[in-house]
């Protein structure tokens, strides 16, 4: 597999090194040569000091043979244009761009690019931890719009049905129930027992509604 990374800051260097250590062929582009000092000393992938939007830079980096491209500079406009070129002109099959300023996110989405917004995701995650510390997010999809939470079922919910916890239209979906160390797919009509642990997929609004239905901080 061959991946091109645009931007060798903290994110780009970490990404490049992680891929390189897994045996992926990597080429990383940055217009500031000193940025390559972020790379660990044992990194042996390609580095290219150039302005990515200059003529033929992507082609010289091997974009026509690339399996993927990640544009992770701190410039949203550069990331958007580089990603758009890779996807629309060179037909790179997997393109991911970093969104630095949330106000630019709509531009990335207009181009149909896969977007990772560490700012938006981080702010939402901190908000969750500050407002509702109970309940642990174990997986985050997209930029945190939907997350999977691991939640101990409160004792006073023993005997209640799964559908009471995650009714239709509540932006909450029960995805796994663990009982006595064994996980199973929860059916709506199943009843909780003491000691159960439930995993739910939910939006932030869905989780707030779920906590309101439970009415306790002890578990959910």
Query: What residue ranges define each of the domains in the chain, with the CATH number in brackets?
Result: 2-118 (3.40.50.720), 130-214 (3.30.70.1450)
Q: State pTM to two decimals.
A: 0.66
Average pLDDT over residues 86-96: 95
Q: How far apart are the first and last CA of the chain?
A: 43
User: What pLDDT is attached to residue 209?
Assistant: 86
Average pLDDT over residues 130-157: 78
Lowest mean pLDDT among 75-89, 99-113, 156-170: 99-113
Q: What is the CA radius of gyration of the chain?
A: 22
Average pLDDT over residues 20-41: 95
């Amino acid at each position: 597999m061959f991946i091109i990374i645009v931007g060798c800051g903290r994110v780009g260097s970490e990404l490049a090194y992680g891929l390189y250590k897994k045996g992926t062929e990597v080429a990383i582009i940055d217009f500031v040569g000193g940025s390559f000092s972020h790379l660990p000393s044992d990194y042996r992938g390609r580095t290219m000091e150039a302005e990515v939007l200059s003529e033929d830079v992507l082609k010289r980096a091997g974009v026509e043979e690339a399996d993927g491209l990640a544009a992770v500079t701190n410039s949203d406009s550069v990331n958007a244009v580089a990603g758009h070129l890779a996807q629309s002109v060179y037909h790179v099959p997997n393109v991911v761009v970093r969104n630095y300023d949330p106000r630019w996110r709509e531009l990335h989405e207009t181009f149909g690019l896969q977007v990772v917004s560490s700012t938006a995701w981080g702010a939402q995650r901190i908000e969750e931890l500050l407002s509702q510390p109970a309940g642990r997010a174990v997986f985050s999809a997209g930029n945190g719009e939907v997350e999977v939470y691991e939640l101990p079922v409160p004792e006073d919910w023993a005997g209640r049905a799964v559908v009471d916890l995650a009714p239709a239209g509540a932006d909450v979906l029960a995805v796994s129930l663990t009982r006595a160390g064994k996980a199973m797919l929860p059916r709506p009509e199943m009843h909780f027992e003491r000691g159960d642990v439930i995993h739910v997929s939910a939006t932030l609004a869905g989780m707030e509604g779920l906590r309101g239905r439970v009415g306790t901080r002890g578990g959910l």
